[in-house]
Amino acid sequence: MQAKTLFSSLFLLIFLFFPSISSSAPTPAKKIKSYKPCKRLVFYFHDIVYDGENANNATAAIVGAPRWANTTKMAGLNHFGDVVVFDDPITLDNNLHSTPVGRAQGFYLYDKKDIFTAWLGFSFVFNSTEHKGSLNFAGADPLMNKTRDISVIGGTGDFFMARGIATLMTDAFEGEVYFRLRVDIKLYECW
């Protein structure tokens, strides 16, 4: 009788202090969450950088440059230190001359010497029959990657309290003067 009690208390003791013995089941594989966007939108925007001669057509200007460069030409060393302000037309297709549905307004700055990479902070400002309001974006843009994800950090109007991810893709570029970005916006918070 007594031996049996002793045995069971020993048993209990072992399992109390070494719970790992009892949980022999394998830990489940990390759950891969697949979120579904509540809204998805695709736009293009067109950036024409001032190059000293295109003042009428330019939609972007270098407003800050390192001491070893100037604001009419992108700096060497992967444009490191250049700060560009833009007011670019947003279109539904990849044609620069399509009727814009809004403006992409903000800045980008190049922040790495040994590779092309930028940091973006801008808004999509909509004032069309389809969309009214704004979406705000921020994030790192490693330009050499085919696609880059930046954050949709908020919105106003039709996009009140929106949050999500925008996948950027360089759709075209011409030298250092023109580039076109495709923006695939996936919102995971919609009101």
Ligand X SMILES: *[C@@H]1O[C@H](CO)[C@@H](O)[C@H](O)[C@H]1NC(C)=O
Interface segment toward ligand X; rule CB under 6 A; list 34-42, 49-57, 106-114, 161-169: 49-57
Residue among 26 and 123 whose Cβ is closer to ligand X:
123
Q: Least Å distance between CB 151 and ligand X?
A: 12
8 or 54: CB nearest ligand X: 54
> Bridge partners of 48?
178
What span, in angstroms and rounded, lies between the C-alpha atoms of 43 and 7?
72
Write out the H or E segment, with its range, that includes residue 77.
Answer: helix 76-79
As given in the structure block, the two tokens for residue 181 are 């970005």
Site size with ligand X, rule: CB under 6 A: 10
Residues in 119-158 that interact with ligand X by CB under 6 A: 127, 142, 145, 148
Q: Which stretch binds ligand X (CB under 6 A): 6-14, 19-27, 51-59, 181-189?
A: 51-59
User: What CA–CA distances, in Å, run from 30 to 36, 37, 59, 62?
Assistant: 19, 22, 46, 45
Nearer to ligand X (CB atom), residue 73 or residue 182 = 73
Asked if 95 interacts with ligand X (CB under 6 A), we say: no
Nearer to ligand X, 15 or 160 (CB): 160
62-81 residues in contact with ligand X (CB under 6 A) are 70, 72-73
Residue 12 vs 113, nearer CB to ligand X: 113
Q: Using alpha carbons only, what angle is made at residue 118 by residues 94 and 32, rounded to the nearest 5 degrees?
A: 80
User: Is residue 54 within the footprint of ligand X (CB under 6 A)?
Assistant: yes
Identify each DSSP E strand in 53-117 by its residue range. 60-64, 83-91, 102-110
Beta strand 60-64 pairing with 39-48 = unpaired
Tokens of 75: 């700096």
- Tell me the closest approach of the beta carbon of residue 113 to ligand X, in angstroms: 16
- What values do phi and psi take at 22, rounded to 5? -75, -30
Residues that bind ligand X (CB under 6 A): 54, 56-57, 70, 72-73, 127, 142, 145, 148
